[in-house]
Structure 1
């Protein structure tokens, strides 16, 4: 990959669930890079990795995106499938991921992911752009996110990817993309709901042709989004079948089964990593002393049989169904575990109620930092997959009115806007 000093800028939305790349064209509309994946050609590249033992005996082979999913689906027991690894970028507790007999730091997984993404881009990324604009959340995921650590890891991940790297808040990318639709000045609130974080930016948009089209006014974020909603579903429908809330016997006493196992199991970035000798030995010992050993046996079976992706798919299917209907059926089967449940939208909204309160508080902070009131917002642009959840949309309808709500390009608007920002002379005003 060689640098082209006169080439277009590149916008990269490196997301928790999906990643999207757009190439800028001076004075034109950015082009989304498409990937001819096994199932379909799409600009959406799943943020996932799959590892397996190379038949040649040279160590581990790997792939990313849709190809990682295809490899896992064909050989689930012989592979390790890792998704949502962006979620650990700001976690001090995460040091390395053990994959078979090899260990990977965050930046090493990131570099491998980028390498595979470039390889699958059909030559469109073989020439390195002169400027790369990478989206980053306003607030990283995790209980106590370390922003400086995340920046260090991002710098190492993208080192060598481009001659000039800039980081821009993800909702600002979406704001710049949405601004291309506006024909008159407006103050907009952008709400970006990803897999790991929900981020908000208030931006003043000038009239078309203005020297500076967009001016950021304020930002806020919270480490709650699609993956947290997944956890709520797992916590209600799946984890009780795997021993959560149960007990084990120790020296004549009954003690609660450690919750850390269930926290790891319900985190897509950590579930696959539980399949290691230490954790599996601990679970086998726990099974021998558990009051309900069969439940722990089911957890062991799901981990050993690499059923994380089918479980993720079942949870995602339920969320999507509840976004379009008032009720839906949950089904998951594998490794001796079978779960069937009818779930209403009202139930799901009850499960995520506390999360919605924290999201609303982040919206309030964004308005406060921007020094604007609700009445000052002319348009609200919703983006990201979780923006399609009716309860999330209702936050903004109730505050700003249905007429103010705009959407579109839920998975591609950030990359599109980042590429547009990359073509601006005043890019330093956007960088963080």
Structure 2
């Protein structure tokens, strides 16, 4: 029974097989080795759309519901809540199952093979603060694979998969920072063989960085922290925080669009000291602009990391509305998260009975591992280890292809 290696990620997903003994990431979309982990429910054509086409449908303002970051809901009550999608009532586990079925279908079309089994990457910890949620997340994901038509699925921690594909020899620490989690594997490579020594995981990733930046820079422009007056009297209270946290969280944005909530926000406009803020919020909710904002924050983060200055462009909300995001500012605002990542790396070494000066190299995997603040945090804690970058987006799927053999 042929097995397909699948790296189901918070932000991007890849699939891989071995070809002539070498791992190959399948071109799930034209010209790309991964595709966005994104789903669009097209209300006009009554169908589900996946990957880049889903993101494009959202950006073009087509009538439907866009979802991204669904991996983050695994293990939570949100995963099993029944919701109406087109003419069906489905759970988000079933939506993930349809997404994985699309991955299977595309992989079979590309390779000409039939895949009834999968070996899937998984974070070392889906939920680092809860054993129960962590166990439930794997149960949820296993169910999604079954719904996708896979008769069997095995799981391999993502940094351990990446370790199988990394070049070089010696003692190395794999640091895999993806959209939703940060994972660490201490391993030894000698004569082409890999020995895993210790692994740890932390529920902290790129989408958390985006949420922090959105709450700090964007949500105040929509009324986060602003005062709302009472219908009678002079008392005021701050706008409820939960709405802004959901609007800043990739996996929750799709579920904030509610007619009753929009009516409430329009009431805030009438009672607010600064009604312009809530007028913008009403526009975001009425026009379903939450994901547009999230993409703008993500783009600003990447730009500020790559140069001295980036920009969060919010023209979609209000023409000319832009926020400067400086590189030094980005490092400062994400320093606490970077410190947590660095400390978890040291904890992984301690689990393996290894001192920092005994690590030959730190190998970075995953899109968010490119943040300079994260790399500096690791350099401070392992100053003698050289830093290497593996195939950032495909190292895990290459390792899963080896494991599938």
Same fold (TM > 0.5): yes
- Cross-structure match for 1:427: none
Gaps of 5+ in 2: none
Gaps of 5+ in 1: 424-432
CA contact (8 A) 2:174 2:185 kept: yes
TM-score (norm 1): 0.86
Q: How far 1:369 moved relative to its partner?
A: 1.6
Q: Counterparts of 2:181 and 2:320 in 1: how far apart (Å)?
A: 31
Write out per-residue CA displacement over residues 358-412 of structure 1, whole angstroms, 9 at most, x where no aligned residue.
2122112211222211122122110101111111111222233476211131001
Write out per-residue CA displacement over residues 2-24 of structure 1, whole angstroms, 9 at most, x where no aligned residue.
xxx2x3x3211100000010012
1:68 to 34, 40, 54: 54
1:176 to 158, 161, 164: 164
2:109 to 114, 120, 123: 123
- Cross-structure match for 2:214: 234
Aligned-pair RMSD on alpha carbons? 2.3
CA contact (8 A) 1:118 1:126 kept: no
Matches within 5 A, 1:319-330: 319-330=301-312
Q: How far 1:103 moved relative to its partner?
A: 4.3
Q: How far 1:100 moved relative to its partner?
A: 6.4
2:119 to 113, 133, 153: 133
Q: How far 1:287 moved relative to its partner?
A: 3.7
Per the alignment, do residues 197 and 281 of structure 1 end up closer, same or farther by CA in structure 2, a change over 3 Å counting?
Answer: same
Aligned residues: 400
Q: Secondary structure at the match of 1:24?
A: strand
Task: Check if 1:207 corresponds to 2:201.
Answer: no
Q: How far 1:98 moved relative to its partner?
A: 5.3
CA contact (8 A) 2:369 2:375 kept: yes
Q: Counterparts of 2:104 and 2:118 in 1: how far apart (Å)?
A: 14
Task: Check if 1:157 corresponds to 2:144.
Answer: yes
Q: Counterparts of 2:222 and 2:319 in 1: how far apart (Å)?
A: 9
Q: Counterparts of 1:99 and 1:333 in 2: how far apart (Å)?
A: 30
Write out per-residue CA displacement over residues 127-182 of structure 1, whole angstroms, 9 at most, x where no aligned residue.
4336421011112258757012212211110015433311111111111110xx22
Task: Check if 1:35 corresponds to 2:28.
Answer: yes
- Cross-structure match for 1:50: 40
CA contact (8 A) 1:106 1:153 kept: no
Q: Secondary structure at the match of 1:35?
A: coil
Q: Counterparts of 1:277 and 1:171 in 2: how far apart (Å)?
A: 43
Larger relative contact order (Cα-Cα within 8 Å, sequence gap ≥ 6): 1
CA contact (8 A) 1:20 1:32 kept: yes
TM-score (norm 2): 0.91
Q: Counterparts of 1:80 and 1:318 in 2: how far apart (Å)?
A: 24
Q: Counterparts of 1:23 and 1:254 in 2: how far apart (Å)?
A: 60
Q: How far 1:338 moved relative to its partner?
A: 4.5
- Cross-structure match for 2:12: 18
Q: How far 1:284 moved relative to its partner?
A: 3.5
Matches within 5 A, 1:401-416: 401=383, 404-416=386-398
Q: Secondary structure at the match of 1:310?
A: helix
- Cross-structure match for 1:426: none
Q: Secondary structure at the match of 2:369?
A: helix
Q: Secondary structure at the match of 1:146?
A: helix
1:224 to 204, 229, 244: 204
CA contact (8 A) 1:98 1:276 kept: no
- Cross-structure match for 2:284: 302
